[in-house]
Structure 1
Amino acid sequence: LNTINSSTGYSGFQLKTGHSPRIIPPLIPLVPNLDEVDDVNNALEVLRRLHDDIQEAKDNLLRAKVSQAEFANHHRRDEVVFATGDHVMLSTFHRRRDYLQKDDKRVAK
């Protein structure tokens, strides 16, 4: 987003607007906290929320994947299962042309 171009030494945002974008505010307060237990609890809470958010994102991706597969398969027919010994019809439309074409491996038509 705000990557500095090695040629110009400026980011695209800075060249377009004339200033760098604002810095994201810190996640924790800047006031020093002397209680180590509160620091540990705050860190654990941030990590727990981060873990929950990651798990929710994974669930959303899985839900989207299933939904996309459902819509993609909606107009497709069911898969035909063939067993050993079943008789099938094959399209040989191009086989005759392949046979008639001259090739280094063929002696005659």
Structure 2
Amino acid sequence: MGEYGSLGIFLLVALFFPVMALGPAFLLQPKKPSPQKYIPYECGVDSIGSPYVQFRAGYFLYALLFIVFDIETVFLYPWAVEFRMLGAFALIEMFIFVGILVLGLAYAWRKGDLAWK
């Protein structure tokens, strides 16, 4: 079968299941296009004006900061689970890790990125 045989089988299975689930739904769906179906619609009220809305960059900055700190704190969970077996070296390493996170948070705070303007 070779080194990549199991990978190929996995890829085929990964492609097979979505096609088998979505294929019949696509073939059997009712298709009655009309101009009414292509208009923008929100909450039962026809839209007024352009659907393009410009958001402030602050929203995206909050989202990025949340993702960074959320992903970084996920690394705390395995450490907490195995804390007793890891010893003092891991404790010191975790304090360094959390210190870097705190420095990043302090930097964002001092820069004013956390102020809701």
Q: Structure 2 length as normaliser, TM-score?
A: 0.31
TM-score by length of 1: 0.32
Could you say which structure has the greater relative contact order, defined with CA pairs below 8 angstroms and 6 or more residues apart? 2
Rg comparison, structure with higher value:
1
Greater helix proportion: 2
